[in-house]
Structure formats: C-alpha cells, structure tokens
C-alpha cells in the first residue's frame, strides 16, 4: 500500500513539473507586439486667414459631441436625435458590435478547458461460429457514463493572439459605429439644409410667377381692348410659363429632398411616402478653428481609429498563424463508470478514469502553414496602407473643409450683395416700365437677373451651412477642450 502511495506522489510531482513548465512556456507568444507606425505628421495646423473676425464666429471647441446645436435650430436638434435612434445604418453598426463581442467570446473560450458529459448504452450479440474460445455470454449489454475534459496548452500564444485580434475587431466595430454616427449627423444636417434651400427657392420663384401671372391677366385685358398686340400678349404668356416651368423643377427637387431626409431618419414607408417634415430656421454660423491645434487631435477621428484597430487585428493574426509551426500539447482525461449491468453502473467497482497527454508536430503539409503566414502578413500590409491613407485623407479633409468654409462665406457675401442690388434695380425697372420709360424686354431682363441672383444667394446659404457640417465631420465633431493623447478605450458594454 505504501509503495502504491509513493508511486502516486511521484507521478503527481512529475505532472506538476510538466504543468508548471507548460505555464512558463505559455508566457511566450509568437509574432511581434503592435507598435503604431511612424508617420510624418505636422505638429499643428494653421487655418486660413478669415474674412471676418473670430469674435463674430463660434469656436469649434464650444460644441462638444452635439456640434449641430451651434445652428440654434430646435427642429434640427430633433431630427438629429431621431436619426441617431432610428437610422438603419446606425442600427446595423450596433448589431455589428454585438456580433464582434460574441466572436470575441468564442475566440477567448479556446483558452479554457472543455468539459463534456457523455453517456452511452449498447447491446451486442456475438457470433458463435469461430468456435472454441467463445465466452458463454453471447449477448452483452454495456452502459457507460463519463465526464470528459480536454485542454490544449497555449504554449506559443496561438489562442492569445487570436483573442487579441478579436478584441481589436470589437474595438474596430465600436469605432465604425462612431464613424457612422458622425457621418450620419453631418448628412442629416446637409439634407435638411438642402430641403430648406429648395423650399426658399420655391418661394422666390412663386413670387416672380405671381407677378408675371398678374401682368398676363392685365395684358389679356389690354389685348382685348386693342392696347397691345397679340405678339406682346404671347410674350407675356411665355414669361409666365417659363416661371411655371422653373417652379415645377424646384418643387420636384424639394419633394426629393424631403423623401431622402425621411429615409435617412429611418421613418416608416408610410411616413416616407406621405409624411411631412417640420421646418426650422437655422442661423448662418461660421466656425472658428483656433490656430496651433495639435495634429494629434485628428487621430481621434473614428475612421482613423477603426483603421488602426484593423491593423492591430491583422498584426495579431500573424502571430496566430506562425504558432501553427510549433508543437501542440493537449491534455485529456475522463472520469466515470462502466458496467454490463445498468443497476451496478454507479457502484465502486464500475468506476473508470483516464488521464493522457498528447503532442502533435506538423512535419509536412505542402506549405499550408507557410502560406497561411504569408496571407496574414499580406493582410497586415494592406491594413497598414489603409491606415496611412486614412490619416492622410483626414488631414486633406480638414484642409479642404477649412477652405470650403471660407470660400462659402465669401461667396455668400458676394451673392447677398448682388441680390440686394438687383432687387433695387428690379423695383426701379418695374416703375420705369409702368410709366413707359423702359421697354418690356429691359424690365424682363432685370427681373430674370434678380431671380437668378436670389436663387444663387439661397444656394450660397445652403453651401455655407453645409461647409460648417463638413468641417465638423472632418474634425470628428466638436470637442470641449484641447485633447490629450488617447489611451486604449475599455471594452464597450
């Protein structure tokens, strides 16, 4: 008995040493740890000199995440919240986070032992033809119940690298949701401004059309009494029809904008078809971006962070692929009962157990593992190029958005001045035409120029508001204070 106990203790110590050695080896992992690639970034950006004083502009860092509140339009605030709650793309991005979180759970489960309960019962009839050594029992019943356990040691970090990649995929999905939200809020604002612009242009054309229809009615009476010729009557009718044609075009554009915005808000098919959107009155806002902001501010853009997380994931998968070159050690065991009689299945003599360790080393697989590593490395290189491109594109977006805002402001100022001047000229031309000083063609020419100037001014308002939305999209929204270097964000709940 004492000899058996000593043998058992010796085996236990040996198993403990082997397990400790395996745990020490598990601290090693193939593949290199991720390091952010070096890039030639500017230390800060310098804004273009503005045509208006920063004192009359709103600072970009005063908006926070709800940057659209700077427009001061409660209707815009309302539809932005509606879009964030019901937009289909936002819902898909949220579902992808849930998928990535579940995939992370599946990957991390490979690092833990597997435990299964198994039961089996069989009834076997044996042949008696072979002859002399057939046991007396020809029909044999066998019952078996076991608890099976298995565990593969992660000596080379195969599972840990896979978990690292899945965790980066989860972060990428979260940043993708942030990018979708940022793009969505900018798109909602731009569609809303386009709707207001189309409606304002419709009102401007209706005013001109009403004036031309009044003149047509008057000219019809004048023609009937012989004051004007049929040629002049047809000219008046053609002028009214031209304004009517413009009205049809801009009304169609307004209806299309309204349907597009309703779809963007995630409204039901009935509301997309028949619903009406509330209109507000956003202010004409210019955004002041201070000089000397650190360039790293732009690295907080969600599309850049998503690209970096994809790069981290691909880098980790190289380690998981390289780990396939090394041996795999698996531990298996089972504990249970086995008996030819079901009534004796859970008695002491029916107990069985087994503990086994296995090792496998790839020798020949026609280069499958090597090619797998090459695939992982090429995907890492693709992700690296995409990350660098995302960073470069972000700086280009900011530069273009800053220039677009300044250009839109100057264009709006010029078009507003032109519209005011032509409005005065239109009123004077109308008086001159009524008293017979100017010809009809001269008056219509001034009226057409005024209408086009007013349409251009309205479109310049839309462009100016849209430029502000583009700027906030490029800057990843507003921020409450100067940013500090970002740290790894926690797992999203």
Same domain, 11 and 40: no
Secondary structure (3-state) at 338: strand
Sign of the four-CA dihedral 326, 327, 328, 329:
negative
CA–CA gap between residue 133 and residue 128 (Å, rounded): 9
Average pLDDT over residues 432-457: 87
pLDDT in tens, 240-262: 999 999 999 999 999 999 999 99
Nearest to 306 by CA among 471, 478, 401, 182: 182
pLDDT score of 20 more than 50: no
Amino acid 61: pLDDT:
65
Same domain, 239 and 306: yes
Same domain, 42 and 19: no
HSE on the CB side for 406, CA within 13 Å?
15
Same domain, 4 and 69: no
pLDDT score of 59 more than 90: no
Amino acid 291: pLDDT:
63
Same domain, 26 and 101: no
Same domain, 301 and 343: yes
pLDDT in tens, 103-132: 999 999 999 999 999 988 888 877 666 555
Nearest to 466 by CA among 175, 76, 93: 76
pLDDT in tens, 170-211: 999 999 999 999 999 999 999 999 999 999 999 999 999 998
Is there a domain that residue 489 lies in?
no
CA–CA gap between residue 414 and residue 450 (Å, rounded): 14
Same domain, 7 and 147: no
* Burial classification of residue 253, based on how many CB atoms lie within 10 Å of its CB (0-12 exposed, 13-18 middle, 19 or more buried): middle
- Which range has the top average pLDDT, 92-96, 353-357, 437-441? 92-96
Same domain, 20 and 139: no
Is there a domain that residue 482 lies in?
no
Structure tokens at 115: 């435990």
What's 314's domain CATH number? Answer: 1.20.1600.10
Is there a domain that residue 487 lies in?
no
For residue 312, what are the CA distances in angstroms to 33, 103, 186, 276, 378? 9, 16, 29, 46, 14
Is there a domain that residue 235 lies in?
yes
Nearest to 377 by CA among 307, 305, 316: 316
Same domain, 146 and 25: no
Strand partners, 329: 359
Measured in whole angstroms, the distance separating CA 97 from the mean position of its chain's CA atoms is 11
Collect all residues with Cβ–Cβ distance below 8 Å to 395 and sequence separation of at least 6.
41, 42, 45, 295, 298
Same domain, 374 and 446: yes
Q: How many CB atoms lie within 10 A of CB 335?
A: 14
In sequence order, which ranges of 26-73 are alpha helices (DSSP H)?
Answer: none
CA–CA gap between residue 422 and residue 409 (Å, rounded): 20
Is there a domain that residue 436 lies in?
yes
Sign of the four-CA dihedral 190, 195, 196, 200:
positive
Query: What is the count of structural domains for the chain?
Result: 2
Domain, as residue range, for 15: 1-30
Same domain, 60 and 10: no
The model scores a pTM over 0.85? no
Collect all residues with Cβ–Cβ distance below 8 Å to 12 and sequence separation of at least 6.
none
Measured in whole angstroms, the distance separating CA 7 from the mean position of its chain's CA atoms is 62
Is there a domain that residue 422 lies in?
yes
Is there a domain that residue 484 lies in?
no
Amino acid 1: pLDDT:
39
Lowest mean pLDDT, pick from 55-64, 93-102, 448-457? 55-64
Average pLDDT over residues 402-428: 90
For residue 165, what are the CA distances in angstroms to 9, 29, 245, 301, 353? 41, 14, 59, 21, 38
pLDDT in tens, 255-308: 999 999 999 999 888 888 887 888 888 886 667 776 666 777 788 899 999 999
Structure tokens at 405: 């805002």
Is there a domain that residue 492 lies in?
no
Structure tokens at 485: 């270097």
Same domain, 238 and 297: yes
């Amino acid at each position: 008995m004492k000899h058996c106990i000593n043998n058992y203790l010796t085996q236990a110590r040996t198993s403990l040493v082997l397990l400790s050695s395996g745990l020490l080896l598990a601290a090693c992992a193939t593949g290199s740890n991720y390091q952010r690639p070096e890039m030639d970034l500017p230390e800060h950006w310098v804004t273009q000199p503005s045509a208006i004083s920063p004192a009359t502009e709103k600072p970009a860092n005063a908006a926070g995440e709800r940057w659209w509140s700077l427009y001061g339009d409660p209707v815009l605030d309302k539809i932005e919240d509606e879009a964030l709650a019901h937009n289909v793309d936002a819902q898909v991005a949220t579902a992808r986070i849930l998928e990535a979180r579940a995939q992370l759970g599946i990957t991390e489960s490979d690092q833990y032992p597997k435990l299964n309960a198994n039961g089996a019962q069989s009834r076997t009839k044996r042949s008696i033809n072979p002859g002399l050594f057939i046991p007396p029992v020809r029909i044999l019943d066998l019952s078996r119940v076991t608890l099976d356990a298995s565990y593969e040691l992660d000596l080379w970090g195969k599972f840990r690298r896979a978990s690292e990649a899945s965790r980066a995929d989860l972060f990428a999905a979260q940043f993708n949701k942030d990018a979708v939200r940022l793009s969505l809020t900018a798109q909602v604002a731009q569609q809303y401004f386009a709707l207001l612009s189309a409606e304002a242009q419709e009102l401007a054309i209706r005013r001109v059309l009403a004036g031309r229809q009044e003149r047509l009615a008057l000219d019809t009476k004048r023609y009937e009494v012989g004051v004007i010729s049929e040629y002049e009557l047809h000219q008046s009718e053609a002028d009214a029809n031209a304004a009517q044609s413009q009205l049809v075009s801009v009304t169609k554009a307004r209806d299309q904008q309204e349907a597009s915005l309703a779809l963007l808000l995630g409204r039901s098919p009935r509301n997309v078809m028949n619903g009406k959107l509330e209109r507000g009155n956003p202010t004409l806002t210019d955004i002041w971006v201070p000089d000397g902001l650190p360039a790293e501010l732009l690295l907080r853009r969600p599309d850049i962070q998503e690209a970096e997380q994809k790069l981290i994931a691909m880098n980790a998968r190289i380690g998981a692929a390289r780990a396939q070159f090394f041996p795999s050690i698996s531990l298996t065991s089972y504990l249970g009962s086995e008996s030819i009689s079901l009534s004796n299945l859970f008695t002491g003599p029916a107990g069985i157990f087994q503990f086994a360790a296995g090792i496998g080393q790839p020798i020949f697989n026609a280069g499958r593992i090597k090619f797998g590593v090459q695939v992982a490395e090429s995907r890492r290189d693709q992700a690296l190029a995409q990350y660098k491109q995302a960073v470069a594109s972000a700086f280009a977006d900011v530069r273009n958005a800053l220039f677009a805002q300044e250009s839109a402001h100057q264009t709006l100022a010029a078009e507003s001045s032109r519209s005011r001047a032509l409005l005065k000229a239109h009123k004077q031309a109308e008086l001159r035409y009524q008293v017979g000083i100017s010809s009809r063609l001269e008056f219509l020419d001034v009226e057409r120029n005024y209408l086009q100037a007013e349409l251009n001014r309205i479109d310049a308002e839309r462009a100016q508001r849209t430029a502000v939305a583009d700027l906030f999209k490029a800057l990843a929204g507003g921020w409450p204070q100067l940013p500090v270097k970002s740290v790894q964000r926690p797992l999203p709940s």
